[in-house]
Structure 1
Amino acid sequence: MKSIGVFCGANVGNETYQVEAEKLGRLMAEQGIGLVYGGGKVGLMGVIADAVLATGGTAVGVIPQSLMDREVGHTGLQELIVVETMHERKAIMAARSDAFVAMPGGFGTFDEICEIITWNQLGIIRKPVAFYNVNGYYDKFFEMIDHTVAEGFVKADQRQNLIVESDPELLLQKLRAYSDATSDYWVDFKRI
Structure 2
Amino acid sequence: MKKITVYCGSNKGKDSAYAEAARALANEMVKRKLALVYGAGNVGLMGVIADAMLGAGMEVFGVIPKKLVDIEVAHRGCTELTVVETMRDRKWLMAEKGDGFIAMPGGIGTFEELFEIMTLNQLAYIQKPLALYNVNGYYDGLLLFLKHAAKEGFLHQAQLDLLIVGDNPADILDKMIAFEPKHIDKWEVK
Structure 2 alignment gaps of length 5 or more: 184-190
Flag the 1:30–1:56 CA change in 2: closer, same or farther, 3 A: farther
Aligned mates of 1:148, 1:90 — CA distance in 2: 25
Aligned mates of 2:22, 2:103 — CA distance in 1: 11
Alignment correspondent of 1:7: 7
1:169 corresponds to 2:167: no
Alignment correspondent of 1:91: 92
**Conserved in 2, the CA contact under 8 Å of 1:30 and 1:55?**
no
**Conserved in 2, the CA contact under 8 Å of 1:6 and 1:103?**
yes
Letter of the structure 2 residue corresponding to residue 10 of structure 1: S
Q: Percent identity?
A: 50
Aligned mates of 1:74, 1:42 — CA distance in 2: 8
Letter of the structure 1 residue corresponding to residue 112 of structure 2: D
> CA deviation digits over 1:64-105, x for unaligned, max 9?
000000000001110000001001001100110000000000
What is the CA-CA distance between 1:123 and the residue it aligns to? Answer: 1.1
What is the CA-CA distance between 1:56 and the residue it aligns to? Answer: 1.9
Tell me the SS of whatever aligns to 2:78.
Answer: coil
> CA deviation digits over 1:152-174, x for unaligned, max 9?
11111110110000011101101
Alignment correspondent of 1:141: 142
Letter of the structure 2 residue corresponding to residue 143 of structure 1: L
Tell me the SS of whatever aligns to 1:60.
Answer: strand
User: Runs of at least 4 residues of structure 1 off by over 6 A?
Assistant: none
1:31 corresponds to 2:70: no
Aligned 1:1-192 pairs, distance under 5 A: 1-13=1-13, 14-178=15-179, 181-182=180-181
Tell me the SS of whatever aligns to 2:63.
Answer: strand
Letter of the structure 2 residue corresponding to residue 63 of structure 1: I
Aligned mates of 2:79, 2:94 — CA distance in 1: 15
Structure with the larger helix share: 1
Aligned mates of 2:4, 2:141 — CA distance in 1: 24
> CA deviation digits over 1:79-136, x for unaligned, max 9?
0000010010011001100000000000000011111111111111111100000000
TM-score (norm 2): 0.93
